[in-house]
Each structure stands twice: as C-alpha cells, then as structure tokens.
Amino acid sequence: MRMKIHSITIFLLLVVACSTVEAQQTRPAASPTKPVFVFNGVGYFHRWSKNNQHEFTPEKQEDLDKWSDMMTVNAYPDVQDGEHLAQTANAVLDNYKRHQAKVLKTDSVPRTADWPAEHFIAVVFGRPNFIEVAFARFKLVDGTGCSFVYSHRIYGEKVGDEMSAWLSANGAAVEKALMEWSSMPSPIKSRWD
C-alpha cells in the first residue's frame, strides 16, 4: 500500500511539473520588470514606438486606450540648435490649438552661456469621453531637439471639474518636476523596441 501511495505521489508530481513547464512555454513573454525611466517618483515602461515618437506608461497601465498617465518622448532629428527648437515648440503649440486645446501656459527658459534655451507648454484637450492635460518640455538632448510630454487623463463625460481639481492639486508640481527632470532618457541613443 505504501508503494502504491508513493507511486501515485511521484506520478502527480511529474504531472504538475510537466504542466508547469508546458504553461511556461506557451505563456506570452512577460512584460519588463524594470521601468525604462522614473519620472516624478513613478516608473515608466515602454509601450509603443513609431518613427521618432515613443510612449511610456506606469505599471498596470498597459492599455493604450485606457491609461491615466503617459510620458511621450519625441525626437526631432532635424532640430540641432536653439532657434529651430523654438520653431518646433511653436509648431507643436499651433498643432495643439488646431486640435482644440485650451492653452494653460507657455514659458521659455532663456539660454545661458552654459545651457541652451528650453520651452514649456501646458494644454488641456476636452473630448466627449475624456479630458486630458499635457505638459510638454522642449530641450536639446545630445545635440538634437526633443520633447518630453507628460499627460494625465480623466475618463467620463463632464469631468471638467474633476480635471480642474486635479490641476489645482498637481499642476504646479508636475510642471516643476518636468522642468527640473535631469535623468530623462535620450531618444537619440536609446532603443526601446
């Protein structure tokens, strides 16, 4: 009887081990366990890239149709000086306006002997099923124009009051964090796909 129980136990252990190995082999690849970068104390994972645009969201916000926080990193390879960077920031601002964005703030940090000029834009987009605020920083990274855009969305209809409350509580802190962020990834030197 002992031999029979022992044999059944070994058989069951083999079945469980084989099914675990099979499950591991057929499971889709796990998402990265380490964020690509940290912004404002939150780790961001690469979700999508096309050409010179790269999108990142925090853990548990993998669905690009239903995210709350996103960082978009854009490279502008033809922009290699402060004058062209300013033109690019103005072109993006015009594009935001064409898409019915309400401009909350624009600002420029003048260049110094040691630091090229930078530009900042904050806008709100109202859509039928969500409202989104975007904070964009334009700067030269590794000699190439880049923008780092932090966006926050709130879903639902008539959520303007909720977004106003979020902006009152978080807007100034997000702007400060974005403009002081020094460990941003270089879209010129990084590969995320």
| pLDDT, tens digit, 9 for 90 and up, residues 38-74 | 999 999 999 999 999 999 999 999 999 999 999 999 9
Residue 185 counted as domain residue: no
Q: Would residue 9 count as lying in a domain?
A: no
Q: Residue 68 falls within a domain, yes or no?
A: yes
Q: How far is residue 85's CA from residue 137's CA, in Å, rounded to a whole number?
A: 11
CA distances from 98 to 53, 87, 95, 102, 134 (A): 20, 16, 5, 10, 15
Is there a domain that residue 191 lies in?
no
Structure tokens at 65: 């149709």
CA 147, 152, 158, 162 torsion: positive or negative?
negative
The confidence score (pLDDT) of residue 43 equals 96
Per-residue tokens: 88: 């690019």
Query: What pTM did the predictor assign?
Result: 0.81
What are 129-174's pLDDT values in tens digits? 999 999 999 999 999 999 999 999 999 999 999 999 999 999 999 9
Confirm whether 135 is domain-assigned: yes
- The answer to whether residue 92 sits within a structural domain is yes
Over range 117-137, report the average pLDDT: 97
Q: What is the CATH number of the domain that holds 102?
A: 3.40.1000.10
Distance CA 123, CA 151 (A): 10
- Residue 186: pLDDT band (50, 70, 90) is confident
| Structural domain includes residue 93 | yes
Residue 50 backbone dihedrals phi, psi, to 5 degrees: -155, 125
Q: Which of 29-33, 97-101, 120-124, 184-188 has the lowest mean pLDDT?
A: 29-33
Residue bearing tokens 């920031």: 89
Count of domains observed in the chain: 1
5 located within any domain: no
Instruction: Indicate the SS3 state at residue 153.
Output: strand
Residues 64/124/171/138 CA torsion (nearest 10 deg): 80
pLDDT in tens, 8-28: 333 333 333 333 333 333 333
Range(s) of the domain holding residue 44: 32-180
